Each structure stands twice: as C-alpha cells, then as structure tokens.
Amino acid sequence: MVSERLRKIILNELKLDGFDLHDETTANQVPGWDSFNHINVILAVEKDYNIRFKGLEILKVKNIGELQKLVDSKLQ
C-alpha cells in the first residue's frame, strides 16, 4: 500500500493535487510524469527519506507499489 508520505512526495513534485495513486499506478498514468519529472520524483524521494537508489533498482520498478517496496527495503 502506498504510504501517505510517498504519495505526498510524488504529488508535490508533479504539482498535482488530489490525484489518486494506487499500488498498480504506473508513471505513464500520472499527469506530468514524463522522463524529466521521473528523475525529479526519484531525487525527491531519495532526499525526503535520506536514502539512495541504484540505477538498476529504479529500472526494475514498474509501478508505485514497487517503488514503495523499494523505499521500505532501504529503510530496514
């Protein structure tokens, strides 16, 4: 399940208000989430959680739920 914290980071970075994110939501389903903003979203997540992703880890992420799992794994 997508945490409120992650949801807020993503929506804030994309300047969206009230967009409903689910585990299955992919980047191409979110308005404004293009390749440039993808980098900004990932950097914002890393900064907020004080974590670092490897490039291969990010390439494997297919949806918001998988991003949440990756974040959770970095926090353990």
Inter-CA distances, 11 with 27, 33, 56, 64, 76, Å: 12, 10, 24, 12, 25
Residue 18's pLDDT is what?
Answer: 85
Q: CA-CA-CA-CA torsion for 58, 59, 65, 70, nearest 10 degrees?
A: -40
Nearest 5°: CA angle at 60, between 72 and 12? 60
Give the residue carrying structure tokens 């990010």.
58
For domain 4-75, is the CATH number 3.60.21.10? no
Q: What is the pLDDT of residue 60?
A: 96
pLDDT for 6 equals: 98
In the prediction, which pLDDT does 66 show? 98
Ordered by start, the domain boundaries in the chain are: 4-75
Q: What is the pTM of this model?
A: 0.94
Per-residue pLDDT tens digits for 11-32: 999 999 989 999 999 999 999 9
List CB contacts of 71: < 8 A, sequence separation 6 or more.
Answer: 6, 45, 49, 51
pLDDT digits (tens, 9 = 90+) for 36-74: 999 999 999 999 999 999 999 999 999 999 999 999 999
